[in-house]
Chain A
Amino acid sequence: MPFSSFDTAALARSLAQLAGSGEDWVDAFFERTEEIELPPDGQGPGFSLRREEGFAVRLVRERRAFLASRDGIDGRSFSEALRQVARALPAASVPEPDLPMAPWPGAPGPPEAPEVVDFAGLLERAIRAHHTAFPLRLTVRRHQRWLQVATPRLVPGPESERYYSLDAEIPGGRWGALLPQLGRAEAEAAAGHLVELFRARTALPFSPRTGPILLGPAAVAVLLHEAVAHALEADLLALSGKPDSAIGVALGSPLLSVLDDPGAAPESVRRATDDEGLPVCRRWLLRNGVVEQPLADAAWSRSATTLLPGAGRRAGRHDLPMPRSHHLELLAGTTSEGALFDGAEGGLWLPQVRRGTLDPRSGELELRFPFARRIYKGEPAETLGPCAIHGRLADLLGKATAVGDVRRSEGAGWCAKGGQKLPVWATTPGLLLAEVEVTR
């Protein structure tokens, strides 16, 4: 870990000077990030390496937050930032803590990323195995992040995340994915999605209809992220009232039990603490369709004491944390995949989502799909063109009539709430919804 030589006691002492009273929240956030990118053939430059280090000092006093952030990590800049946040602290009272950073992985040479370099070839072979070929512009990225949070009373262990992102452009449209690992299995799964999207380009135009829809695990991941996670973030709940007043409200079908559990995320992105250094928990967002524990960070949990902290996330040092989900889970139901398809007979199979949006004030949700497949005799049949569902999230979640018995781990996608881009993960089964209006 890059922060293992930090003088954490000196750090905590420095931060303690900022806290004017026991009610003040003070923390320091250190991060190191590395991104390796291999763009599509012909699009330069050939190989990109982005490495950053930096920190932020934050003070939350009553309803006011102050943040000072810097690129680079050293004791002098840290003391300077501390003084900036305090705004009244005499210079002499802030000793410079010792903050030596460990060398970068692979130093002094460049990082090795054979899995990134090899992936395009694996994907091409996997696509050929479907007896098809099409122009493909693929960008592969490896993201790594190391974090250390310190507070006056607690210096939790460091955290790290490592994951991959794919961004593909084909004649049928664009497709992207977040993956905890990159290898042959991921190439085969990606090829399946891309071939399906490619074949959908000649689909019949979609004509609006109302009926059952069956969402695949990847689509359920986006639905849960928009309709449950965003809807239950304390800051967004506060737009229409007191955030804790949502507790006990029936938001969806009793079949839906949804959790946010960063500790159960895929191993390479698993977290024990959030970006404020507080322990994460297995948070029941919905238990049998009823709101149990909204997502809150330290600041919101202090103003609404029934809200548990541990869901504060930030895209980087220059941003303030806010309540966000990390790894959503929909508990498995008892319906087999075959029975799900039988239950959606005559309806639509929607395996992929192009985009999801929620208006937190009105509760209006929109999911746009790149294509749909009609379900005939318990199987996906002909492909139809792009379509969408709109509606109030509670109405939509109330229409769940069956939950699949097999769950899959998916990257739910990038979330850009408040301009802060973060990856979101999910473990979900398929979900059957009854009588949903689907439009073009």
Chain B
Amino acid sequence: MSVSPVSSTRPDWARLVGESMKQHGVWHTYTKLLEARRQYPDDLALRGYVEIVRNGIVRDFLSHPRGLQAVPKLSADFLSHFDRFNLNAQEGYLVSLIDGRLAVQKLMILSPFDPFTTIFILAKLEHEQAIVVPQ
């Protein structure tokens, strides 16, 4: 998905986002949508498209066979090279809770973030291979 500079005409987000998800996957699309949101801060519908993509990511994470009972673990790569992972404060906090024994459901209770954000961060950490979620 490419984003054109600010203009008075709104891009066809539905088509752009749909095509980008098919061709490049949800995470690439999500990153591009965040860039687009900086260029179109007043575009309400665009915020909706960001949420649609985030929703898809969280739903996919929840549809793992063990769902909320899955127990995330820190990856070997993360344990040996954690300084290579550029975690923000929220991600760092959640990583600190992951001990290989707490299931996703328990992490949602312990996390200071809302349930959706907690799962979204876990999905992002899994995507970046900082954690593994055995099924």
Is chain B found bound to chain A in the same assembly?
no
Question: Which residue numbers of A lie inside 8 Å of B, CB to CB?
Answer: none
